[in-house]
Amino acid sequence: MRHFLTLKDFSKDEILEIIDLAKSIKKEAKRGEFVPYLEGQTLAMIFEKSSTRTRVSFEVGIYQLGGVGLFLSKNDIQLGRGEPMKDSARVISRMCDMVMIRTYSQKSLEEFANYSIVPVINGLTDEYHPVQLMADYLTMIEYGKDKNPTVAYIGDGNNMAHSWLMLSSKLGFTLKIATPKGYEPKREIVDDALNFAKKSGAKIQILNDPKEAVLEADVVTTDTWVSMGQEEEKEKRLKDFDGFMVDNNLMKLAKKDAIFLHCLPAYRGYEVSEDVFETHAKEIFDEAENRLHAQKGIMVWLDRNRKK
């Protein structure tokens, strides 16, 4: 049985297999065909962090696949009162067919998965956001940006940067990450990516100059500078990230037909300018919609793998 905790755990072929499945399911949905691949199944959705896209995409996704989503906030279950993660896992996984968790600690997620008897999906942790990257890559394919692309990630070396490192190093494309000094991705995750890149041929650079990163990029992407749980650092972060906003001047350095992606929510005037956001709104909201389709692909793939 497989879980979906980080792209680090998946091969190139497996990632592309899930993407192909997501593409197929999306085509069916666009024709109005909702095949009940997960008929009668229940997805437990545990939220220790609030969400818009994760909540809506998973709940709609499991419904369209013929199953039922069960929303469980930390205030609804005993996790919020201190029940050990492993005990919650052993209870919930006996009653549900699959579990999605959106939480802070990757270690807590992994502990839950270790004790679960059903597949567990990472809906986001402080370390990784793999479901978002599957949606991002599906969007890149749809815009013709999947053939030897150069991706520039500008901003904080956070869970999105870590997930881009995993995707790039597994699939073999060029990734340039630019962060302010002191905000680089975790060294151990960079090292993992560089090791994977030896096999895939990926070219990875960790920089401190956003202009250098964006130069001739096919895809430019960013994320909020102040993630959930970092609100007290806001003023310091805004000062430290000065010069890292993706604006028209920065986008001009990328290829003329470059696309811009953002996992949302977007804070205009901080990590992205209003002009850039609205110019690339179609790409951004196609990307947001693709959370639904990519996650349906993930759920169906995990279910099929479990039955092998």
Polymer length of the chain: 308
Instruction: Check if the beta carbon of residue 218 is closer than 8 Å to that of residue 150.
Output: yes
Helix, strand, coil in percent for the chain, rounding step 5: 50, 15, 35
Query: How many CA atoms lie within 13 Å of 54's alpha carbon, on the beta-carbon side?
Result: 28
Q: Report the chain's C-alpha Rg in angstroms.
A: 19
Instruction: Check if the beta carbon of residue 222 is closer than 8 Å to that of residue 153.
Output: yes
**226 three-state secondary structure:** coil
SS3 for 61-101 is: HHHHCCCEEEEEECCCCHHHHCCCHHHHHHHHHHHCCEEEE
- Residue 253 CA to residue 247 CA, distance in Å, equals 11
Instruction: Check if the beta carbon of residue 167 is closer than 8 Å to that of residue 200.
Output: no
- Residue 266 CA to residue 49 CA, distance in Å, equals 17
Catalytic residues: 102, 129, 132, 223, 263, 291
Q: Token pair of 187, please? A: 């060294």
Instruction: Check if the beta carbon of residue 225 is closer than 8 Å to that of residue 155.
Output: yes
* 265-285 CB burial, b ≥16 within 10 A, e <16: ebeeebbbbeebbeebeebbe
